Amino acid sequence: MHIRKEIGGHVANRLQTALYREVAYLIEQDVVSVADADAAVCMGPGLRWALMGPNLIYHLGGGPGGIHHFLEQFAGPIAAGWADLGSPDLGPELQKKIVDGVLEEVDGRSIEALSQERDTLILGLLELLSHRGRAEPVAAPGEV
């Protein structure tokens, strides 16, 4: 990854923060539980983004027309959806709701056990990704 200009925060952390903002909003609005939000991320974009970034995933979503066709068809609905994204108040009430939900999801497992599970799964995923010949996100021929 090549950072082309200075901006506050790390790129990956900024992206993570943007996603977490909507996760917190959905929890605040009682749309989903903490566990359901985690499952939605893990089993939805998390699976796809472990292999390709959102731009390449949308390129595939455009079918034979690729990203050009995807944006022709979905730019309007995506932009309209952005207007509906939430701005949660991460105050004490929402913090308590998140803490309670996380502790329920943890179900008594220790930080050490969770860390070991995460690290084992990440190592397994990295091993799988190494078989495609590159350890970095997939890029089209000639792209950097």
96-107 as b/e: b if 16+ CB within 10 A: ebbeebeeebee
Q: What is the mean pLDDT of the chain?
A: 91
**One-letter identity of residue 26:** L
Residue 75 falls within a domain, yes or no? yes
Instruction: Read off the pLDDT band of 144 (50, 70, 90).
Output: very low
Total domains present in the chain? 1
- Count other C-beta atoms under 10 Å from residue 65's C-beta: 12
d(Cα 13, Cα 1) in Å, to the nearest integer?
14
Q: Is the pLDDT of residue 26 over 60?
A: yes
CATH of the domain at 59: 1.10.1040.10
Residue 86: domain span:
11-106
Residue 119 falls within a domain, yes or no? no
Residue 1 falls within a domain, yes or no? no
Residue 63 falls within a domain, yes or no? yes
Q: List C-alpha distances in Å: 1 to 48, 57, 94, 140.
A: 19, 18, 35, 15
Which tens digit of pLDDT belongs to each residue from 59-112? Answer: 999 999 999 999 999 999 999 999 999 999 999 999 999 999 999 999 999 999
Residue 115 falls within a domain, yes or no? no
Residue 19 falls within a domain, yes or no? yes
Query: Is the pLDDT higher at 139 or at 71?
Result: 71
Residue 142 falls within a domain, yes or no? no
